[in-house]
Structure 1
Amino acid sequence: MKKTLSDMQPGEKGTVLSVSGDNTVQRRIRDMGIVRGTEIEVVRRAPFGDPVEFRLKGYNLSLRREEAACVSVEV
């Protein structure tokens, strides 16, 4: 099933399919290690849902919901 990172719930895992958005957002997300084929897991959401904490490649990373919405994953 295809979703965006912002649609995933804590404990859910997926594999990155693509990154959308303007070039600045795409570059920022790629620079953090979120590229096609990366396995990623939602760790938790902050109160009110923003930001969201993810685990990938052995480290944790937080993204704003609007950034997470730019990343498509297969779950």
Structure 2
Amino acid sequence: MPPNHAATRAAVECSLADLSLRADAWVHSLHMDAAPEDRELLLRLVEIGFLPGQRVSVVARATGGGDPLAVRVGRSTFALRRREAALVRVGAMPPAPAAQ
């Protein structure tokens, strides 16, 4: 029986806040059922490029609590708080293309 690719992908997903330093990952989704006060934050994340299929990595963490994170998405680098990064779901493999 072939492996369940959806289950395999789901097993390797985590939040961007939990991604290991310098590990390559791909955006799978945003945590769209976040609290109402996070809606503007979700829009900002989309506007700066955190879209499904985009390659991301955490390039640095602040000493101490690790907040903020320096995160590379595409060719740009942004500073995100851990709370902001936690809204981005990432995986070790690119997301499966949407069915047409």
TM-score (norm 1): 0.91
Pair member with larger Rg: 2
Q: What secondary structure, in the 3-state scheme, does the structure 2 residue paired with 1:47 have? A: coil
Deviation at 1:24, TM superposition (A): 1.3
Identity in percent: 32
Pick from 58, 62, 85 the counterpart of residue 42 of structure 1.
Answer: 58
Gaps of 5+ in 2: 1-11, 93-100
TM-score (norm 2): 0.70
Paired residues in the alignment total: 75
1:16 aligns with 2:32: no
Aligned twin of 1:73: 90
Q: Report which of the two has the higher share of strand.
A: 1
Amino acid at match of 1:12: A
Aligned twin of 1:55: 72
1:4 aligns with 2:26: no
Dislocated runs of 4+, deviation >4 Å? none
Deviation at 1:13, TM superposition (A): 1.3
Q: Residue deviations 1:33-66, cap 9 Å, x none?
A: 1111110011010112000011122121111000
RMSD (Å) for aligned C-alpha atoms: 1.0
